[in-house]
């Protein structure tokens, strides 16, 4: 039966390319098509260098977000990160603030569609913007795949046009001698018109151009293989976007007169008029206008998509009404999308000042400062189940520099922007105090850091992070399958006592691993914060770590009648009837690998009728196959008259199998063993083969499909 939590879980439909296009599409709008000319008034020809500086300054926030997002791939992005690190009050402030900041920027981008449409057609700007918003809303309601498909088209078209613009511009500047294009020396002197301070101010002014880079964190729950795709997608997006900004703005500076450039609200279109001379008529201007509209559309679409995940995530955590956390038939958060669309339509109708984007960016800088601090909190909290697949380089210097960068750039934004940020913080504080505080009982990881605040530790935080590890699955290189294959399986009768069983299993591990039996017994009996995630009726999962252990090892004990295991609950001592025991030992230096393997084990144990099914199995091969059962395994019996009979009488090394497949077990008569290359395969042998799903599927087609 599907639980409510599983029902309201978003589908993982986004791959690396979608991560790249959502992140990239959220950046190319005002940053390229509007801001360069205005920014040049603060620093002159060095404006393209300011874009480079700004791209470097956002890297600490990018690395920090990538780390937390791979550890906690959940919808809500900055909200979820701040809630779980600094507590629900900061989560509420960060969530509401980032939600409104994203919606302001989205409304501004969608207005850009109407504005560029008005350049060529006599149409009302706001009417076009409203129609575009409703169109994006429809796509978001249909589903992530449809939304990301349109996003992919926008970004690919945009990159083709801008790539052509850059190639043509660089060729015209450096390899032709056209009289209508000023010389590079003429337009680039003086390079720093307002000194170094001008460059820093301009870097802060154009910082908004890169803020879309981090929007991908808000849809992390919908990303396949987040530990690879989030950091790689963000890094690729930053590199590509940074190159387009720097080279594109360099071309604008080179071909547009400085006095005109500083007042130009459409510098890309102005530059195209002097380039693209190989195209007939005004085709170049039309093409760049189309690219600009695609840019604003991609930002608007990505903005509505990502911002709608904030009320969805906050609704799941009771910081918002729970109805916003419901997922519709198409797998999308319908009410959250409708609410977000309503706000964006209101902003389009009410606001016209483009300065609102600057105010929104100021709050984003404040959020970046807190996120950089959150990485430090998570690392210092010693929460074992905080298990990022990507770790920020140069910790903690990267995070400290990110905090300082945010403070400096906020100061450059001016008092109005600072007051706006303070106002949003106040609204978030009041919302938490009078609405959310009574509905939530958790605290953030920061209470796990400071020992003096230990009484406020939220014990279920470890358990929640453990459930996230289970959703993410094993990491490449985790030896779970090999551990199952090597596992001991023991059957015991009803007279077995738990203390004796524990001593016997620890004795076996002690002999095999050359570690002290007493240390293992103590470790097996020591409870931890992840214990609630391991509670399954009639099943006991015990685990230990030790410095002397060099590889994971598993001992499975099965009892048809059950073994009485003493359990202390709320100060009372009772006994549970346990029919299946798992004893897992790991190297002490791999605590998070142990958690991932435990989470995979629990995933198997939670199958319907697990206890009845595993007790019914009578030999080691079938038990291990049952535990391995997924798309990565296949079982073949070498019977005469079958396709696999070609293996009978051959050594295993003579069998031509794909390199990513392994014959893990051979069952012969009633004996199961792990084979080697010299093992001769005999009639009626049963082979257990594990490997990559594609190769397993091909093996099934070859030997078993009728």
Span 319-374, pLDDT tens digits = 888 888 888 777 778 898 899 999 989 888 876 545 555 666 677 788 889 899 99
pLDDT digits (tens, 9 = 90+) for 419-432: 878 888 898 899 88
C-alpha–C-alpha distance, residues 97 and 606, integer Å: 39
Cα distances from 95 to residues 73, 310, 502, 694, 704, in angstroms, run 16, 6, 48, 41, 53
Return the percentage of the chain with pLDDT > 70, whole number.
89
Give the range with max mean pLDDT: 141-145, 397-401, 637-641: 397-401
- With cut-offs at 50, 70 and 90, classify the pLDDT of residue 391: very high
| Biggest CA pair distance of the chain | 99
Average pLDDT rounded to a whole number, residues 503-529: 91
Predicted pLDDT at 515 = 92
Cα distances from 14 to residues 142, 225, 474, 475, in angstroms, run 15, 9, 19, 19
CB 82 within 8 A of CB 91: yes
- With cut-offs at 50, 70 and 90, classify the pLDDT of residue 685: very high
What are 608's two structure tokens?
């319907």
Q: Which residues pair with 575 in a beta bridge?
A: 566
What are 471's two structure tokens?
């959703």
- With cut-offs at 50, 70 and 90, classify the pLDDT of residue 538: very high
Please write down the long-range contacts of 451-455, taking CB distance under 8 Å and 24 or more positions apart.
none
Predicted pLDDT at 91 = 82
- With cut-offs at 50, 70 and 90, classify the pLDDT of residue 11: low
Is the pLDDT at 611 greater than 90? The verdict is yes
Stronger pLDDT, 214 or 60, i.e. the higher one: 60
Predicted pLDDT at 48 = 94
Averaged pLDDT of the chain? 83
Is the pLDDT at 394 greater than 90? The verdict is yes
- With cut-offs at 50, 70 and 90, classify the pLDDT of residue 483: very high
3 state SS of 58: coil
Cα distances from 639 to residues 91, 190, 262, 653, in angstroms, run 62, 84, 81, 19
What are the structural domains, with CATH classification, of the chain? 4-437 (1.20.1740.10), 476-624 (3.40.930.10), 630-703 (3.30.70.1450)
CB 253 within 8 A of CB 182: no
pTM over 0.85: no
pLDDT digits (tens, 9 = 90+) for 187-225: 787 888 888 888 888 888 788 788 777 677 777 777 888
Predicted pLDDT at 178 = 65
Residue 32 exposed, middle or buried by CB count within 10 Å (0-12, 13-18, 19+): buried
Average pLDDT rounded to a whole number, residues 529-558: 89
Average pLDDT rounded to a whole number, residues 475-495: 89
Nearest Cα neighbor of 489 from 355, 644, 641, 615 is 615
Is the pLDDT at 236 greater than 80? The verdict is yes
CB 408 within 8 A of CB 366: no
- With cut-offs at 50, 70 and 90, classify the pLDDT of residue 300: confident
Q: DSSP class of residue 575?
A: E
Is the pLDDT at 450 greater than 70? The verdict is no
Give the distance, in angstroms, between the CA of residue 266 and the centroid of all CA atoms in the same chain: 35
């Amino acid at each position: 039966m599907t639980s409510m939590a599983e029902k309201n879980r978003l589908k993982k439909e986004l791959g690396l390319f979608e991560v790249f296009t959502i992140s990239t599409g959220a950046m190319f709008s005002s940053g390229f098509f509007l801001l360069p000319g205005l920014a040049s008034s603060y620093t002159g020809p060095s404006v393209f260098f300011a874009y480079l500086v700004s791209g470097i300054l956002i890297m600490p926030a990018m690395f920090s977000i990538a780390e937390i997002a791979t550890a906690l791939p959940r919808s809500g992005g900055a909200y979820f990160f701040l809630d779980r690190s600094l507590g629900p009050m900061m989560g509420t402030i960060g969530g509401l603030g980032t939600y409104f900041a994203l919606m302001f920027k989205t409304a501004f981008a969608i207005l850009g569609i109407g504005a560029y449409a008005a350049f060529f057609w006599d149409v009302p700007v706001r009417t076009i913007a409203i129609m575009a918003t409703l169109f994006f809303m429809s796509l978001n309601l249909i589903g992530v795949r449809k939304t990301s498909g349109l996003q992919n088209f926008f970004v690919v078209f945009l990159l083709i046009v801008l790539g052509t613009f850059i190639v043509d511009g660089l060729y015209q500047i450096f390899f032709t001698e056209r009289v209508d294009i000023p010389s590079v020396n003429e337009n680039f002197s003086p390079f720093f018109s307002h000194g170094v301070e001008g460059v820093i101010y301009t870097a802060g002014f154009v910082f908004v151009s890169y803020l879309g880079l981090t929007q991908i964190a808000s849809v992390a729950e919908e990303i396949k293989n987040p530990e690879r795709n989030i950091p790689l997608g963000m890094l690729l997006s930053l590199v590509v976007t940074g190159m387009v900004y720097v080279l594109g703005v360099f071309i604008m500076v080179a071909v547009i007169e400085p006095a005109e450039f500083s007042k130009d609200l459409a510098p890309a279109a102005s530059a195209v008029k002097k380039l693209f001379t190989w195209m007939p008529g005004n085709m170049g201007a039309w093409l760049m206008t189309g690219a600009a509209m695609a840019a604003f559309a991609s930002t608007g679409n990505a903005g509505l998509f990502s911002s709608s995940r904030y009320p969805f995530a906050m609704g799941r955590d009771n910081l918002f009404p729970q109805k916003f956390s419901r997922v519709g038939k198409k797998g999308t958060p319908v009410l959250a999308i409708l609410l977000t669309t309503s706000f964006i339509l209101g902003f389009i109708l009410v606001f016209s000042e483009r300065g609102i984007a600057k105010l929104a960016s100021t709050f984003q800088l404040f959020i970046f400062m807190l996120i950089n601090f959150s990485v430090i909190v998570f690392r210092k909290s010693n929460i074992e189940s905080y298990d990022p697949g990507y770790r920020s380089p140069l910790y903690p210097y990267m995070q400290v520099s990110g905090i300082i960068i945010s403070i400096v750039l906020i100061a450059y934004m001016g008092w109005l922007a600072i007051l706006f940020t303070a106002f949003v913080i106040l609204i978030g504080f009041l919302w938490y105090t009078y609405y959310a505080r009574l509905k939530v009982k958790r605290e953030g990881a920061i209470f796990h850091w400071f020992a003096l605040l230990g009484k406020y530790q939220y014990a279920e935080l470890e358990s929640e992070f453990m459930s996230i590890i289970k959703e993410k699955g094993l990491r490449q290189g985790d030896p779970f399958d090999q551990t199952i294959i090597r596992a001991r399986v023991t059957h015991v009768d009803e007279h077995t006592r738990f203390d004796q069983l524990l001593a016997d299993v620890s004795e076996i591990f002690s002999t095999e691993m050359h570690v002290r039996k007493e240390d293992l017994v103590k470790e097996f009996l020591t409870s931890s914060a992840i214990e609630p995630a391991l509670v399954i009726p009639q099943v006991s999962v015990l685990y230990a770590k030790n410095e002397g252990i060099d590889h994971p090892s598993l001992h499975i004990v099965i009892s048809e009648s059950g073994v009485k295991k003493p359990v202390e609950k709320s100060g009372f001592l009772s006994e549970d009837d346990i029919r299946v025991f798992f004893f897992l030992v790991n190297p002490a230096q791999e605590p998070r690998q142990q958690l991932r393997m435990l989470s995979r084990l629990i995933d198997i144990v939670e199958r319907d009728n697990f206890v009845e099914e595993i007790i019914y199995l009578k030999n080691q091969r079938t038990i291990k196959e049952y535990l391995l059962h997924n798309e990565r395994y296949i079982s073949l019996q070498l019977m005469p008259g079958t396709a696999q009979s070609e293996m009978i009488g051959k050594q295993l090394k003579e069998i031509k199998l794909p390199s990513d497949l392994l014959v893990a077990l051979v069952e012969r008569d009633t004996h199961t063993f792990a084979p080697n290359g010299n093992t001769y395969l005999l009639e009626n042998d049963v082979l257990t083969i594990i490997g990559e799903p594609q190769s397993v599927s091909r093996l099934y087609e070859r030997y078993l499909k009728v």
